[in-house]
């Protein structure tokens, strides 16, 4: 094998290894666990009528989205102390949860718990997020006010489990020749 050919082969192998390393590190930035299906026993997508211990948040503006809370809510998230939990319903179905907390210590504890459950996520401009096809999770912290929140949001109906049927083939339009 010639010297030039060997140098080219080494260069190509080095590029392949670097690309594989970038892909592996990029995968670690996103969610590594499955998307949340429930929060504290309440399944995302569950009807409001089936949940007995929720109380509407007072003084809400009229909207399709209605917030509720539990009077007996445990005020912890993993090892962190939290201030409140709000449950958001749209069209009478649970689609989101908001968890509020105070203090930088609690921010670190909440972040560690989320990373333990879902992987590192992706950080951008003081926010950390995890995204799945029909779900998103966001951690925010305002260092000036020393307050933060976690937002769980079901973006769409989750895909149905089971075998998928391929779409019907579509024919391409016929373009008349000149």
pLDDT per residue as tens, the chain (178 positions) = 566 565 444 444 445 444 344 333 344 446 778 899 999 999 999 999 988 889 999 988 888 899 999 989 999 999 999 999 999 999 999 999 999 999 999 999 999 999 999 999 998 887 899 999 899 999 999 999 999 999 999 987 655 555 555 555 554 555 565 5
pLDDT of residue 174: 54
In CATH, the architecture of 48-156 is 3-Layer(aba) Sandwich (3.40)
DSSP 47: B
The b/e string for 161-177 (b: 16+ C-beta within 10 A; e otherwise) is eeeeeeeeeeeeeeeee
Q: Is 91 exposed, middle or buried (0-12, 13-18, 19+ CB in 10 A)?
A: exposed
pLDDT of residue 31: 73
Q: What is the pLDDT of residues 12-59, one digit of tens each?
A: 444 544 434 433 334 444 677 889 999 999 999 999 998 888 999 998
């Amino acid at each position: 094998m010639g010297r030039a050919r060997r140098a080219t082969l080494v260069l190509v192998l080095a590029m392949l290894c670097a690309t594989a390393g970038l892909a592996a590190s990029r995968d670690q930035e996103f969610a590594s666990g499955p998307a949340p299906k429930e929060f504290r026993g309440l399944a995302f997508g569950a009807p409001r009528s089936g949940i007995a211990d929720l109380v509407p948040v007072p003084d809400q503006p009229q909207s399709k989205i209605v917030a509720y809370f539990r009077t007996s809510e445990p005020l912890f998230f993993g090892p962190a102390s939290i201030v409140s939990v709000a449950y958001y319903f749209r069209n009478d179905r649970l689609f989101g949860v908001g968890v509020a907390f105070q203090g930088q210590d609690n921010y670190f504890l909440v972040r560690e718990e989320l990373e333990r459950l879902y992987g590192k996520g992706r950080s951008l401009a003081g926010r950390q997020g995890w995204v799945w096809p029909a779900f998103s999770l966001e951690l925010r912290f305002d260092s000036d006010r020393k307050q933060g929140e976690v937002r769980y949001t079901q973006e769409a109906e989750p895909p149905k489990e089971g075998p998928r049927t391929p779409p019907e083939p579509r024919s391409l339009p016929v373009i008349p020749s000149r």
